[in-house]
Amino acid sequence: MREIFPELAGLGSLYRLQQEMSVLSGFDAINYACCINSCCLFAGDLKDSLVCPHCKEARNDGRNRPRRTFAYMPLIPRLLAFFLNPEITQKLMYRATYPRRDGLIEDIFDGSHYQRLLKTFVTIAGEQKQHKFFALATDIALGISTDGFAPFKRRKQTCWPIVGIIYNFPPQIRVRLENLLCFGVIPGPKTPKDMSSFLIPLVEELQTLAQGVAAYDSLNKEPFALRAYLIAAFGDMPAVAKLMCMKGPNGVSPCRACNIKGCQDPRPGLTTYYTPLHRTDRVPYDPLNLPLRTHRQTLERAVQIAKAPTKTRREELQRSFGINGISPLLTLPGISVPESFPHDFMHLALENVLQELIDLWVGDYKGLDAGTESYQLHPSVWDAIGRACADSGKTIPSSFGRRVPNPASKRHEFIAETWLLFGTMVGPAVLRSRFEQREYYQHFVQLATLLNKCIALTCTEQDIDEIETGFAEWVTEFERYARGEYMRM
């Protein structure tokens, strides 16, 4: 920087700038030793370990220094600093002054989980405290998210940021960069084997915050007990599986919300599990009455796994339950399975369902054909649809989102935003009269209707019921088409 910009000739070294930033911000990162391959953090039960239990790499170098460190950014000092700023403190009062309207779902504070917490006394390590969740206007509601990404386009290394969201901020500003909390970045170069270990420093702070920390309210000019509760953790399915210590999408019990059992791919050499509702060897699952997991059941099963007498028995239980162990997140008050771990709309609907639909339509879905159905589109028809999608950008205002590329030739350019525009607005127009049978188009329009309901800023309780029953019907029809057993009326 000093070589490129002459006006920065007096800029200090990176080390000096970091020290000055620490002084100005009032806190500094805490460095923890972690595996050289980022398998785990040497904290909790692994605090004194000198070798990674996963890859067997040594913790320290020849000079007894950690070969790699994880820089944890503490939460408590930042929350305390927020309340020293009257303007920020006023913004944090949104949760306490949230104008809840009966029958409407407009924010996380309208959800059943948060509403139940308001009536519940906080319990820490089995001891019930004298205060309820969010009893004070200054109490903070938090969420966390994580995902792996490759910082370099031409390299395979990945890193995993752990990001926090403060729900006390109004929705218009809570996800702005300056209001998000970064607790640290798991450095990589590989995916962490034990994500839970990297959460231990945060969990320890949250346990302290659940009891209360001495703080000063600059808005009302008085001391108070600062409390904060983690109520949600979200991300794509593999990331949340790591947060919850679960087997994830390739396990026998892959779902984090229910106990549905997977069916293994019958093709030789494949171990992937799928979770269809229809089963040829048993009674089909009812999508409106799935065997849901419970918080207590999850903890009991995790303890049962931990107490398994042999490694073989432990692995059997892990496969059966879909659980690898006890996540430290589940020890926090405010966290509940499955309510605190919602499925991510972007990955589930936009980057999964819509893409798989197109794969089925063009005959490129894992070697499956249409069977006795006729939903596959002729290549010339699909090319025409693709051109129509690309041309639609000429007349759609940019305020609706970025232009939808040609899905027939440039699907690699699609991102979540363009999938949303295709699924809710462009698709229903360009797909009309393209299928041989009208029911396939109606099936897609039903999905577009449900997606639009999901992204509405305000939902009624009736809307929620319609979304639930609508997706149950849509998935049932989808499986009929995929099996080729749909009986036309």
Please tell me the distance from the alpha carbon of residue 198 to that of residue 41, in angstroms, as a whole number: 5
Verify that 189 and 296 share a domain, yes or no. Answer: no
Verify that 265 and 221 share a domain, yes or no. Answer: no
The token duo for 253 is 């019990």
- Kindly state whether residue 14 falls inside one of the protein's structural domains: no
Q: Measured between alpha carbons, how far is residue 7 from residues 128, 139, 167 in Å?
A: 59, 45, 40
Residue type, 137: A
pLDDT in the model for residue 4: 82
Q: How many domains does the structure of the chain reveal?
A: 3
Verify that 285 and 395 share a domain, yes or no. Answer: no
pTM recorded for the entire structure: 0.90
- Kindly state whether residue 339 falls inside one of the protein's structural domains: no
Verify that 179 and 237 share a domain, yes or no. Answer: yes
Verify that 219 and 366 share a domain, yes or no. Answer: no
- Kindly state whether residue 222 falls inside one of the protein's structural domains: yes
Verify that 468 and 379 share a domain, yes or no. Answer: yes
Verify that 305 and 385 share a domain, yes or no. Answer: no
| pLDDT tens sequence across 197-233 | 999 999 999 999 999 999 999 999 999 999 999 999 9
3-state secondary structure of 116: helix
Please tell me the distance from the alpha carbon of residue 348 to that of residue 355, in angstroms, as a whole number: 10
| pLDDT tens sequence across 338-381 | 999 999 899 889 999 999 999 999 999 877 788 888 999 999 99
Residue 408: which domain range?
345-483
3-state secondary structure of 418: helix
- Kindly state whether residue 59 falls inside one of the protein's structural domains: no
Verify that 297 and 231 share a domain, yes or no. Answer: no
Verify that 273 and 402 share a domain, yes or no. Answer: no
Verify that 227 and 267 share a domain, yes or no. Answer: no
Higher pLDDT, 116 or 157: 116
Higher pLDDT, 122 or 272: 122
pLDDT band at 486 (very low <50, low <70, confident <90, very high): very low
Residue 277 CB coordination number (10 Å): 15
Verify that 252 and 216 share a domain, yes or no. Answer: no
